[in-house]
Structure 1
Amino acid sequence: SYFDPGTLTRDNTMISPFADPEYKPSLYYYTDAISDHAVRYIREHVASPEKKPFFMYVAYTAAHWPLHALEEDVAKYRGRYDGGYEPIRRARFERVKQLGLISPNWELTPQAGNWDEVEHKEWEARCMEVYAAQIDRMDQGIGRILKALQETGQWENTIIFFLQDNGACQEAIGRTGTWRRPVEPTLPSIPFDAIRTDVRPSQNRRGVPTLTGPFIMPGPEDTYISYGINWANVSNTPFREYKHFVHEGGIATPLIVHWPAGLTRRGDLEHQPGHLIDLMATCVDLAGAQYPVEYHGEKIVPMEGVSLVPLFKGQAINRKTPIFFEHEGNRAVRDGKWKLVAKENKPWELYDMETDRTEMHDLSAQHPEIVARLAAAWEEWAKRANVLPLGAWRAEAKETFSTRTHFTLSSGSQLKRSEAPFIVGKGLKILAEIKSVGSGVIISHGGSAHGYALYIQDGKACFSVRSQNKLQTVVAERPLPQAAGILSVVWSNGTVKLSWNDDVLASADGVPPLTSMPQDSLEVGRDENGLVGPYSEDNIFSGKLGTITIDILP
């Protein structure tokens, strides 16, 4: 929901959008919230005495379903789509040719949907009006972000990459049913400070059931509707296919790069294909940095992709290997002008992207040698990239967990979810040998939703538990002595007891066992993934650890 999004997190704590002490708009709308926070970040960063570079990942969800928009934005588009799919699609096709965005020889793919056969035309047009309004609101927010960069003196030397993650979505969500809006709420209300984790809400907080179908106009917060395949076909003009597929309608999106201080090309179009993986390589190149081989002593996956910086100078990309794709069994490889593509469990198709960008003429029968070469290259990449076996994403294997009840660990130890102590409904006892007292995480298991962590902060031993996104922390009453010793925690039957050697430092009741197994791994001496406790990402233990033992308690 754009009006009541679930799984919101402030720092490391999940929150309700209506109980956020730092952000209290008169009307909560997620697109505005993203824009507001980005603007705030820019202004706070510039005001900080530490003059460091900044990075922002501004990930709008617009215009993903559900079709939620502010009525003032919808009003701008009222009546614009009353003529149906084909006139809009044809007009867009001619417009992009006129602007030079596509070549005049591109073919327009077949039209999806027949407007004359649409039963609920007013509702169908309203779907596209709301979709347009969602994008309009995002545009307004981007404008405010750019204005903040200008007003704070960051405009000239900030590089901006703007792109979309995939093509238009044809999914038919909430497009059937006979709902009518009830006069009064029919379900129990949900407190406004309650944390919602439902991705597709069944009701709003007032108790109104989520409304769908052609008798409910999309837009308000109690609706949950998508715009469907026919409007997605319009959005994808001139390509065919949609999100999920790796034909051009699923993957071809523009990349807009803006950097006044660093780009000499202004307003130029570049048709060399790029991939999302190229953005990291580009940023590393621009920074004059070297991509690391390891992090905290652990080898990391090598960087993929190539730098796009040559494009900024009108030069060719130095791409020595093809670009590969796989999503939900749909697969493709792009090598120069050739693109080999297939749907899940379907044969390969071959297209010449220079003469047939909209993939209308399959040349696989005419060039079997090219099909064989590119298919072999794709298979080799798929093996290396852990793509195989295809279809594995459909049915994940049943998870298995450790049956051990005793664990002996040391600094740097890491246990995967399947190897870590299975603590659902259980208690535990941790004994940590501290050879020299420092600060930071001694042991962490889990992340921002479920988990526990033992750490030292401000000289005091602390034990934090997160269960169903709720954080509870037990803090020692006094600092630890600057000497070697055994720091222990016993968590059993809802009680937590912290001790240093035989000296009890703190005890607290009302800390129930976890109801779900933590997603993140167990780590000794740090917490690299989702943070369990209220500490910073810079949390590596600064002291020296000896043996760490964990025992599962009944």
Structure 2
Amino acid sequence: MPLSRRDLIKVTAASALLADGAIGEAAPAPGGRAISSTDYASSWRPRNLAKRPNILMVVLDDVGFSDLGCFGSEIDTPCIDNLARGGARFNNFQVTALCAPTRACLMSGQNAHRVGVGNIAEWGRPLPGYRGYIREDVKLLPQMLGEAGYNTIAVGKWHLSMVNDQDAMGPFDHWPTGRGFQHWYGFHGSAVDHFHPELFRNHSQVYPTKGENYHLTNDLVTQSIRYLQDHRVATPEKPFFMYLGLGACHFPFHAPDDKLSKYRGRYSQGYDSMRLPRFERQKALGVVPENALLTPRPDEVVGWDRLPNSERVFSERTMEAFAAMLDHADSEIQRLVTALQLMGELDNTILMVMSDNGAGGGYHRAGALDVRRIAYIEPETVAEKMRGLDLVGTERSSPLYSTGWSHLGNTPLKRRKGDTYAGGTRSPLILHWPAGELQLNAVNSQYHHVTDVVPTLLEMAGIEAPLPEPLDGTSFAYTLDDPSQLTRKKTQHYETAGDRAIWAKGWKAVTVHQSGDRFEDDDWALYHAEQDFSEAVDLAESEPEKLVELIALWDKEAAANNVLPLDDDLDGLYAKVAPRARASYEFFPDQTRFNRLTAPDIFRHNFNMEVVLELPDDQVSGVILASGDSAAGYELFMQNGHLYFVYIYTREAVQRFATDDQLQAGTRKIVINGQVDGRGSGRLSFTVDDRSVGSLVLPKMWRVEALNAGIRCAENCGAPISFAYAGSSPFEGTFERVLVNLSL
């Protein structure tokens, strides 16, 4: 049985002594010299090249340890597999269990809490370790490389700025262009709609040009190629650093139709039956040691054979969508690799592919059709899921698989994203650099962490960057010339929403915290990770002194890295960081869109919406105001002279209002008065030129946090809401503004 923290009180003094000694000191390197966290000297053989290498980071999202073909998956990832054959795979590479903290480590070479990103920005709080953005005095990799003569380009997911900073007026200090990148095209947070994304270019909010087959992954790669072409035209003598943060495969699982069709029926046998074949392939590939154990399905996951048929059918479809999305991402990465080849840049490009954390947590026994609905509105019934079965993976869905599939994705490990077990923190990593003459198809098993990437790249590129403070990371470049070397990593701590872990000299202590419990009552488990690859055998009972050592070391590391105080009230944290409602809002035609989280809160407050239209005739069509998307949102628009208001509570619960008569040409004043009870329902009344034209009851309303798209005015270039019209439907008349007042 794991040792309770309460049982350790008696040995506090002894554990503190041990923390200062045995576990905490640096392991001796070959020759007897200790390697410090800032000492780059190693067996890495410097490459003498005419130009410093380019650096291309490709970061996948929520892709588990076993989800890539070269790590044992049945999903087709031929491009990434080829990169692995031409370079090195790392099977003991760790990240932070959540997206934003991993990116903070990746960009800084320092521990996430130490630089202020102990959690995602949506859960930020005014404490040094949890602000949600990287401290201004921390020099980031793009700044280091820029000073060394690199062009620096970011494409895709950033997630390192506060939610209050994401509107048209910034501030932009923590956006990519404020932290060392010369160019950025991408998005701020997670859960981006891959068919209708809200994007940014440098400091500006933009919409992509969307054809019939638009998909965000394709767009991001196309933009990457264009940036690299600009680089080749303008400054071919310089190296480049490109960070490409894909949205794949974070929910919603969106993929093109041909990829969705490709995977139909491939997962009918279920997650239980598919885990052992992945495990066997992993051993055959050498990415899992022969003595590794396959961890059992966790108790909270229902066995596949015990699921009702309808739940199995729907669950299977969500996994098909995940596989299709990953397959598509691999195809797009191949496009980028081919472009580098045609430019003559691939050979001298250090190309790394990794994931930001383990496979996503999953939902329900069958997964979700609309994950934001179940997170912010209400659960789905199985009947609703089944009615939406053929929509899974399309623009009319926001799907997520069940936890059983995330268990498959992290084969052979325990647990998943958000947990400090290896299922949350072990990421596939591939390094490819033909001009660097790396050992081909190598599997490197040294324990290393995402904080180690910055010193590794600096060493590989031959750069000695002046830094305001030492890095936490330890270069693993030494492993590339000799994959058999012992790890030079000393210690690594972890914390995610109260879950904690510490690794030191091959041992790991870990605890899973339940929200609301006292942290001091949490039970810790102990693993000899150096010999137990999948953390399968808990040694807490047989090695209590070792566990005491490690917990004391975690306390010491936590105090030194801004991890304390701990907090597990994520819902409360989100409420505190969300922007506060204000009394009045103005929206103008042709304005940039308005951030979804700063939209008027018509759930908690009575409201008044007013606009004065100038209509050239009685056949006017077009959008007046649109907020949200087809999963949750509303829009006010005209069609053939009639005024419409559509409120989407869920995809099936839609309330519609339309005027009986067409609005005649001339000046028309539209007013909507909303009376809400603050508990989830409301009633709207509509007037035209001070004359009542009807009302609309909203039996259920969503909170403003449920929105996944911002406010658009006089057009809808963003996500469709009502699907009542095609395209962006710009307003055919004119108006000066839409005014929204809240009764605060």
Q: TM-score with structure 1 length normalisation?
A: 0.62
Q: Which residue of 1 aligns with 2:410?
A: 236
The answer on whether the counterparts of 1:175 and 1:225 sit within 8 Å (CA) in structure 2 is no
Deviations 1:260-303, CA, capped at 9 Å, x for gaps: 11133111111111111111111222233334334xxxxxx542
Higher mean C-alpha displacement, 133-142 vs 261-270: 261-270
Q: Does 2:388 correspond to 1:216?
A: yes
The answer on whether the counterparts of 1:308 and 1:317 sit within 8 Å (CA) in structure 2 is no
Counterpart among 310, 318, 323 of residue 478 in structure 2: 310
For 1:84 and 1:6, how far apart are their aligned partners in 2?
32
Higher mean C-alpha displacement, 31-40 vs 303-312: 31-40
For 2:384 and 2:236, how far apart are their aligned partners in 1?
50
Over 3 Å counting, the alpha-carbon distance change for 1:317 and 1:159 in structure 2 is farther
1:118 deviates by 2.1
For 2:421 and 2:394, how far apart are their aligned partners in 1?
34
Q: Which residue of 2 aligns with 1:102?
A: 288
Q: Which residue of 2 aligns with 1:113?
A: 302
Q: Which residue of 1 aligns with 2:503?
A: 334
Give, as a single letter, the amino acid of the residue that structure 1 aligns with 2:537.
H
Name the count of aligned residue pairs.
Answer: 373
For 1:32 and 1:397, how far apart are their aligned partners in 2?
32
1:259 deviates by 0.6
Higher mean C-alpha displacement, 311-320 vs 62-71: 311-320
Q: Which residue of 2 aligns with 1:127?
A: 318
1:73 deviates by 0.5
Give, as a single letter, the amino acid of the residue that structure 1 aligns with 2:307.
V
Partner SS, residue 226 of structure 2 = helix
Partner SS, residue 55 of structure 1 = strand
The answer on whether the counterparts of 1:340 and 1:375 sit within 8 Å (CA) in structure 2 is yes
* 1:314-393 aligned within 5 A: 314=482, 316=485, 319=488, 321-344=490-513, 345=519, 346-391=522-567
Partner SS, residue 440 of structure 2 = coil
For 2:347 and 2:239, how far apart are their aligned partners in 1?
13
For 1:30 and 1:146, how far apart are their aligned partners in 2?
18
1:100 deviates by 1.8
Give, as a single letter, the amino acid of the residue that structure 2 aligns with 1:81.
Y
Counterpart among 457, 475, 478 of residue 283 in structure 1: 457
Over 3 Å counting, the alpha-carbon distance change for 1:16 and 1:367 in structure 2 is same
1:25 deviates by 4.0
For 2:470 and 2:246, how far apart are their aligned partners in 1?
28
Give, as a single letter, the amino acid of the residue that structure 2 aligns with 1:86.
D
Q: Does 2:252 correspond to 1:83?
A: no
Q: Which residue of 1 aligns with 2:361?
A: 170
1:398 deviates by 9.1
Partner SS, residue 523 of structure 2 = coil
For 1:144 and 1:332, how far apart are their aligned partners in 2?
39
Over 3 Å counting, the alpha-carbon distance change for 1:130 and 1:24 in structure 2 is closer
Over 3 Å counting, the alpha-carbon distance change for 1:82 and 1:318 in structure 2 is closer
For 1:266 and 1:176, how far apart are their aligned partners in 2?
39
Give, as a single letter, the amino acid of the residue that structure 2 aligns with 1:113.
V
For 2:584 and 2:330, how far apart are their aligned partners in 1?
48
Give, as a single letter, the amino acid of the residue that structure 2 aligns with 1:251.
T
Deviations 1:136-195, CA, capped at 9 Å, x for gaps: 10000111111111110111110011111111112317967999xxxxxxxxxxxxxxxx
1:369 deviates by 2.3
Give, as a single letter, the amino acid of the residue that structure 1 aligns with 2:218.
D
Counterpart among 179, 189, 193 of residue 2 in structure 1: 193
The answer on whether the counterparts of 1:177 and 1:214 sit within 8 Å (CA) in structure 2 is no
1:126 deviates by 1.3
Over 3 Å counting, the alpha-carbon distance change for 1:152 and 1:82 in structure 2 is same
For 2:354 and 2:452, how far apart are their aligned partners in 1?
13
Q: Does 2:186 correspond to 1:14?
A: no
Deviations 1:240-271, CA, capped at 9 Å, x for gaps: 10111011111111211001111331111111
Give, as a single letter, the amino acid of the residue that structure 1 aligns with 2:564.
L
The answer on whether the counterparts of 1:2 and 1:29 sit within 8 Å (CA) in structure 2 is no
1:96 deviates by 1.1
Partner SS, residue 73 of structure 1 = helix
Higher mean C-alpha displacement, 257-266 vs 312-321: 312-321
* 1:130-529 aligned within 5 A: 130-172=321-363, 200=372, 213-217=385-389, 218-294=392-468, 302-314=470-482, 316=485, 319=488, 321-344=490-513, 345=519, 346-391=522-567, 394=570, 395-396=572-573
For 1:139 and 1:304, how far apart are their aligned partners in 2?
32
For 2:537 and 2:226, how far apart are their aligned partners in 1?
50
For 1:340 and 1:171, how far apart are their aligned partners in 2?
25
Over 3 Å counting, the alpha-carbon distance change for 1:219 and 1:158 in structure 2 is same
Give, as a single letter, the amino acid of the residue that structure 2 aligns with 1:266.
L
1:383 deviates by 1.2
Partner SS, residue 420 of structure 2 = coil
For 1:27 and 1:397, how far apart are their aligned partners in 2?
35
Counterpart among 256, 263, 274 of residue 70 in structure 1: 256
The answer on whether the counterparts of 1:161 and 1:256 sit within 8 Å (CA) in structure 2 is yes
For 1:48 and 1:349, how far apart are their aligned partners in 2?
55
The answer on whether the counterparts of 2:194 and 2:217 sit within 8 Å (CA) in structure 1 is no
The answer on whether the counterparts of 2:451 and 2:473 sit within 8 Å (CA) in structure 1 is yes
Give, as a single letter, the amino acid of the residue that structure 2 aligns with 1:114.
G
Partner SS, residue 337 of structure 2 = helix
For 1:383 and 1:66, how far apart are their aligned partners in 2?
37
Give, as a single letter, the amino acid of the residue that structure 1 aligns with 2:217.
T
The answer on whether the counterparts of 2:283 and 2:289 sit within 8 Å (CA) in structure 1 is yes
Higher mean C-alpha displacement, 240-249 vs 213-222: 213-222
For 2:567 and 2:292, how far apart are their aligned partners in 1?
34
Over 3 Å counting, the alpha-carbon distance change for 1:3 and 1:256 in structure 2 is closer
Give, as a single letter, the amino acid of the residue that structure 2 aligns with 1:36.
T
Partner SS, residue 526 of structure 2 = strand
1:114 deviates by 2.0
Give, as a single letter, the amino acid of the residue that structure 2 aligns with 1:16.
Y
Over 3 Å counting, the alpha-carbon distance change for 1:384 and 1:83 in structure 2 is same
For 1:118 and 1:318, how far apart are their aligned partners in 2?
44
The structure with higher relative contact order (CA 8 Å, sep 6+) is: 2
Over 3 Å counting, the alpha-carbon distance change for 1:126 and 1:53 in structure 2 is same
For 1:152 and 1:177, how far apart are their aligned partners in 2?
43
1:320 deviates by 5.5
For 1:317 and 1:200, how far apart are their aligned partners in 2?
45
1:102 deviates by 1.0
Partner SS, residue 279 of structure 1 = helix
Partner SS, residue 324 of structure 2 = helix
1:424 deviates by 10
For 1:173 and 1:145, how far apart are their aligned partners in 2?
36
1:238 deviates by 1.0
The answer on whether the counterparts of 2:249 and 2:325 sit within 8 Å (CA) in structure 1 is yes
Task: Give the unaligned 5+ runs of structure 2.
Answer: 1-191, 375-382, 514-518, 586-594, 599-626, 628-744
Give, as a single letter, the amino acid of the residue that structure 1 aligns with 2:490.
T
1:50 deviates by 5.4
The answer on whether the counterparts of 1:170 and 1:230 sit within 8 Å (CA) in structure 2 is no
Equivalent pairs: percent with the same residue? 32
Give, as a single letter, the amino acid of the residue that structure 1 aligns with 2:464.
Q
Give, as a single letter, the amino acid of the residue that structure 2 aligns with 1:272.
Q
Higher mean C-alpha displacement, 43-52 vs 262-271: 43-52
